Amino acid sequence: MNGMQIKSVGIWWNPTKEGALPIAGRVVRAFEDHGIEVCMDEPLAQALGRPVGAGADDFSGCDVLVVLGGDGTLLSGMDIAVPRDIPLLGINLGRLGFLCEVEPDDIESDVAQLVRGEYTIESRMMLEAKIPGHEPMLALNEVTFTRRWSAIRIITMEIEAKGMLVDRFAGDGMIIASPTGSTAYSFSAGGPVIAPGVDCMLLTPICPHTLQSRPVILPADEQITVKILGEPGAVQAAFDGRHSVQLSEGTREVCIARSKRCARFIRLHERDFYRVLRGKLSDWKH
């Protein structure tokens, strides 16, 4: 369970979360008490009365990116961490926090454990979508095809895997999810829960207008092609609910496959996925 020696950490935070600033101060002090260099962006540095150090804009050279917020903040932190292959440590300030590892009450003890090297790194598969005319798009949870806000028509599409027809579909949309994403939007749309260690991709229809359309689980090494049969301009592809691309005549087909990149999360404790699942989803509060 011994990890690498940590010399520098970056702090990524969600300033809209209640109590985020004092918790950020505790995190900074906890690392500095162990002689660890802390890098933060200008807004956080100013809020804490700290100087903005080198590499604050891109967190270059950081061994760990510590994220303060919920799963949504962790997803935004991945834009920094994944291209630089930096592992993430989530401190839960949200409601669910499936991906977060640290609760606020445990910050000081968990930071001490991290500094001692008593942790493991868990890799989670990511999805990569290729859309003509666009850079490849990454998603940890899901790629979702839905109507644009102004469109009212049913979406019609075909889903292929390895050149073979999986389903011809009409409805409100389609979710292509990873195992991590099986507890996100796909779960709300009626898809099954998949344990994180299972290598697969999940197709979950959104409000299908056909009797036979049901969730389908495919091997992770297959390439999925989504073909828009109706008006493509009425459809958008969204990535983890954060970035979206409006489709057009030139982007009727979108190819989705397992990415060569992965998201890496620091784990300090043994995780009972099923206990976390029961605890997070059985007491649904806003």
- Measured CA to CA, the distance from residue 236 to residue 74 in angstroms comes to 23
- Measured CA to CA, the distance from residue 49 to residue 52 in angstroms comes to 10
For residue 199, indicate whether it is catalytic: no
Length in residues, the chain: 286
- For the chain, how many helices (H) and strands (E)? 6, 15
Q: Which of 71, 110, 167, 240 is catalytic?
A: 71
- 94 and 17 in contact (C-beta within 8 Å)? yes
Query: Which DSSP string corresponds to 59-93?
Result: TTT-SEEEEEE-HHHHHHHHHHHHHHT--EEEEE-
Show Cβ contacts of residue 282 under 8 Å, excluding neighbours closer than 6 positions. Answer: none
- 205 and 213 in contact (C-beta within 8 Å)? yes
Cβ atoms within 10 A of the Cβ of 182, count? 26
Q: Which of 241, 268, 239, 283 is nearest to 101 (CA)?
A: 268
Catalytic (active-site) positions? 71
